[in-house]
Amino acid sequence: MLIGKTGQLGSSILAEQTTHQIYAPGRAELDIESKDSCERAIAEFRPDVVINTAAFHNVPQCEVEPLRAFAVNCQSVRDLALACNKSNTLFVTFSTDYVFGGEKKTPYREDERTKPLQMYGISRLAGELAATAISPRHAVVIRTCGLYGLSGAISKGGNFVDKRIADAQTSSVIEMGCDQIVSPTYTGNLAQAVLKLIEHPQLVPGIYHLVNEGECNWFEFTQAIYEMMKISVKVNPIDRGGMSGEMRRPLYSVLANTKARELGIILPHWRNALQLYLNKKYGAAAGK
């Protein structure tokens, strides 16, 4: 069962799977903010695996609506974990690099201390704890970072890559932050890795990091977009010190894929992933 079929990641999982029968209920069939709805859907369909890609991931809006952030990112995860635990079902849910504080300069492993800096990260960490505490034998939490996919993120009005290409249509000079170092991740690659992970015979419940390899800041990522698209735009780096207004973001949130790597699951480098995305989305315009 796949929850969140219209989102960037959910739609990518639907597109990448070829061997599984997937039940992907819409909101009218499954309301993740209703415990009864979660229990009823899982009891009726009796899935082998529940993949939850739904989240409230508009980071600034989480500061404005913290109760809704916790309702979607924690309470609904708890309810799904309870239902999966009751039915002996593997439960896969997602989290974020924003559970970390960004003090490091080397990639964060799955077992390192968390320290979220804003309501989004706090609510996602709470969801992680709820899932692994309630269903320790069935819950798999996948942390990832900087997602962009073919469908775009509805709550954010698209994705980072497409927005930068749109910027180039109206501006010859743009400013882009150079303070945050991340692992931008293409949902097509992530979806493939998720499907490999849940099928792996040596999968052990717990927390996993799945991101495209390598690291960059958003300024460097933007430059790569324009380079691959052969777009002439001047990009000026801006150091905001991790601040978005009064909200803090981690300065360094690169994730180390250590546990999945041991199972032979490794995503491509972020530059290769970006080129693949651009080829799929823009075809001949993407440097061909």
Domain ranges of the chain: 2-285
> Which residues are part of the catalytic machinery?
120
Residue 284, pLDDT score: 59
Q: What end-to-end distance do the CA atoms of the chain give, in Å? A: 38
Kindly give, in sequence order, each residue whose CB lies less than 8 Å from that of residue 51, ignoring residues fewer than 6 positions away.
1, 2, 3, 10, 13, 92, 93, 194, 198
What per-residue confidence (pLDDT) applies to 256? 98
3-state helix, strand, coil in the chain (%, to 5): 45, 20, 40
- Say which residues have a Cβ less than 8 Å from residue 261's Cβ, sequence separation at least 6: none
What is the b/e burial string over 17-55, where b = at least 16 CB atoms within 10 angstroms of the residue's CB?
Answer: beeeeebbbeeeebebeebebbbebbeeeebebbbbbbb
**pLDDT tens, the chain, 288 aa long:** 999 999 999 999 999 988 888 999 988 889 999 999 999 999 999 999 999 999 999 999 999 999 999 999 999 999 999 999 999 999 999 999 999 999 999 999 999 999 999 999 999 999 999 999 999 999 999 999 999 999 866 656 679 999 999 999 999 999 999 999 999 999 999 999 999 999 999 999 999 999 999 999 999 999 999 999 999 999 999 999 999 888 999 999 999 999 999 999 999 999 999 999 999 999 856 655
Q: List all residues 6 or more positions away from 140 whose beta carbon is below 8 Å from its beta carbon.
A: 90, 91, 92, 93, 197, 198, 203, 205, 206, 208
Q: Which fold has domain 2-285?
A: Rossmann fold (3.40.50)
Q: What is the per-residue pLDDT for 245?
A: 83
Paired with 141 in beta bridges are 93, 207
